[in-house]
Amino acid sequence: MNILFVADPLESFKIYKDTTFSMMREAQRRGHRVAACEQQDLLWQRGALVTAHVRDLTLTGDKTAWFSVDGTRAVALKDFDAIIMRKDPPFDSEYFYATHLLEQAEREGARVFNKPAALRNHPEKLAIMEFAQFIGPTLVTRDEADIKRFHAEHQDIILKPLDGMGGMGIFRVGPDGMNLGSITETLNRHGAQSLMVQKFLPEIVHGDKRVLVIGGKPVPFCLARIPQGSEVRGNLAAGGKGVAQALSARDLEIGNALGPVLAARGLLLVGLDVIGDCLTEVNVTSPTCFQEIFDQTGCDVAALFIDALEQALK
């Protein structure tokens, strides 16, 4: 099998924890050929197939010079057996345009995972609203008066931008309402931008759990990202500590309910974020935590992913 990974610059990978690297390593271990490109390497010329300037790779096993380039070439995307879209957020205009090029490549015969249309249709914070039975009190608005009413009802709340990543731009406002106005103005840009407001979940002290769903089925272990010190955010990028643990009954319930629905829409890999008993985010762009779970539990998530990819291509 010939696999193309559309990803961030390979030179930026921290391979001791990078999930895309673990996918590549497992694919190569099984004898599949691995190539890589970045979003900027995609092109579509009038009358021609969607193409990319790609690098054919061999993973060396070295910790620093971890890959060698066997050659570079321009190749039509349909000529790969699978294309894995692994560009990290943010989901900006360039990402949006890339999904359109990848969708055209699908029309030409390419197989893309996750499906480009599904990436566009599942904004990672907003997507939870479809599954109301699994989420806590949540409001999406740009209106300051609505936010004040929500705060008056729930007292302790979290505010965050819809396009944030890695815990960026998350604020907590307690019962005293301190700085609610200025935080709202900052996040909604004086009414020009929508944001998400949620009731604060005190279970965050036990971790913001990343539940991975592959091929519609939840992986048996999650990574609980536990806030450190006075920090309210569990995100690893914000200093959270990752602790792998078996899924709870509620985690399984959420994963088993959402998994088949999302898989049917073309989402081979999804990362569900769960705090306590509540779903808080549906990650579809570039879910991570494969290596952390493997290192702590021995559960080979990369192998489960390549199993699912091979099955999807049959």
Dist. CA 37–CA 171, nearest whole Å: 36
Q: Is 210 a catalytic residue?
A: yes
- Out of 18, 103, 273, 292, pick the active-site residue: 273
Q: Which of 55, 86, 209, 225 is catalytic?
A: 225
2 is catalytic: no
Residue 283 annotated among the catalytic residues of the structure: yes
The pair phi, psi for residue 308, each rounded to 5°, is -65, -40
Q: Out of 55, 87, 199, 210, pick the active-site residue.
A: 210
137: exposed, middle or buried (C-beta count within 10 Å: 0-12, 13-18, 19+)? middle
Q: Is 142 a catalytic residue?
A: no
Q: Is 172 a catalytic residue?
A: no
Residue 257 in tokens: 């309910």
Tokens representing residue 174 in the block? 């307690």
Backbone angles phi and psi of 162, in degrees to 5: -70, -20
Given 86, 87, 115, 125, the catalytic residue: 125
Catalytic member of 86, 87, 209, 233:
233
| CA–CA distance, 61 with 261 (Å, rounded to integer) | 37
Strands 33-37 and 2-6: parallel
- Taking alpha carbons only, the member of 281, 219, 260 closest to residue 89 is 281
Cis peptide upstream of residue 114 (ω within 30 degrees of 0): yes
273 is catalytic: yes
Does the active-site annotation cover 160? yes
DSSP 182: H
C-beta neighbour count of 231 within 10 angstroms = 14
Which of 160, 208, 235, 251 is an active site residue? 160
> Is 114 an annotated catalytic residue?
no
Alpha-carbon distance 227 to 284, whole Å? 23
Cα-based distances in Å from 69 to 51, 58, 138, 208: 19, 7, 47, 38
Q: Strand (E) positions, the chain?
A: 2-6, 33-37, 42-43, 51-59, 67-76, 82-85, 112-113, 138-141, 157-161, 171-173, 195-199, 208-214, 217-218, 221-226, 241-246, 269-275, 278-283
Catalytic residue numbers read 125, 160, 210, 225, 233, 273, 281, 283
